[in-house]
Amino acid sequence: MSYLELRDISKVYGEGAAEVHALQRIDLSVDTGSLVAVMGASGSGKSTLLTIAGSLEDPTSGEVYLGGRPLSSLSRNGKARLRRQSIGYVFQDYNLLAGLSAVENVSLPLELDGVAARKAQAAALESLEDFGLKDRASSYPDQLSGGERQRVAIARAVVGNRQLLLADEPSGALDSTNAEAVMRLILAACRRGMAAVVVTHDAQLASWADRVVFLRDGRVVDQTVPVDSPETVLADLPNQ
């Protein structure tokens, strides 16, 4: 069942001669429990797609549905509440608050949503433990490595009962080992029931997805077919 659905989404910036068509008639649906990667070159519209899917920006035309509900039916406050309760964001540069410890960063969205501080801290600690960061809970972002910071950012994005994870180049600043760890965590969050969209230009990241959608000049030009059996590549190898 699809949790996120983009129907006929277009986004235009500027007017007249300066008009830029960032997205043109995009249709995309992401099922609960599945990971979709959106690949494309710089300027192809990947990040715009993600901000519209996450209700951070409104489309010029078309409709975004989250859990079957059209975003255009929500007030500004309603969208803000939806973002806090249902959507987790992961960015390339982590976006952790420097003055808060790891556990405070993770518990903050819960507290902003009205969860009691003690309960929010307990949930945050549990989430950090799941990500192998229990002993780093009191550390501040500048005391963490890049890989640890991104794991804290993912813990923050999935804590609580979020249903949608949106990630923009989540491992762009990391080495390949940490990038793989980040994608394993995002995939694990999907397998536990979240829907996720990762936008990236990196094929190694995208290859963790159940489906890869290709954007070019603001349009979906292609997508991969779902992976049937991972054993296929081994079966195709010639006998030496």
Binding region for other proteins (CB under 8 A): 39, 41, 180, 184, 187, 201, 203-204, 206-209, 212, 214, 216, 221-225, 227, 230, 232-234, 237, 239-240
Nearer to other proteins among residue 84 and residue 201 (C-beta): 201
**Closest CB 68 distance from other proteins, rounded Å:** 28
How far is the C-alpha of 151 from the C-alpha of 143, rounded, in Å?
14
Nearer to other proteins, 144 or 165 (CB): 165
Q: Minimum distance from CB of 186 to other proteins (Å)? A: 12
Distances (CA, A) of 204 to 23, 93, 228: 25, 19, 19
In the complex, minimum distance from the CB of residue 233 to other proteins, in angstroms, rounded to a whole number = 5
DSSP string computed for 33-66: T-EEEEE--TTSSHHHHHHHHTTSS--SEEEEEE
Q: Which is nearer to other proteins, 138 or 204 (CB)?
A: 204
- Name which of 73 and 239 has its Cβ closer to other proteins: 239
Nearer to other proteins, 74 or 188 (CB): 188
Distances (CA, A) of 31 to 89, 90, 196: 17, 19, 8
Tell me the pairing of strands 69-70 and 211-216: unpaired
CB of 204 to other proteins, least distance (A): 5
Nearer to other proteins, 99 or 230 (CB): 230
Nearer to other proteins, 31 or 111 (CB): 31
For the bound state, the minimum distance from the C-beta of residue 150 to other proteins, rounded and expressed in Å, comes to 19
> What radius of gyration do the chain's Cα atoms show?
18
Shortest spacing between CB 24 and other proteins, in angstroms: 16
CB 44 within 8 A of CB 215: yes
| Alpha carbon distance 201, 169 (integer Å) | 8
Q: Smallest gap, in angstroms, from Cβ of residue 147 to other proteins?
A: 17
| 117-130 helix and 146-158 helix, angle to the nearest 10 degrees | 130
DSSP helix/strand/coil, 125 = helix
Contact 61, 49 (CB under 8 A): no
> Which of these, 209, 205, 213, lies nearest to 44 by C-alpha position?
213
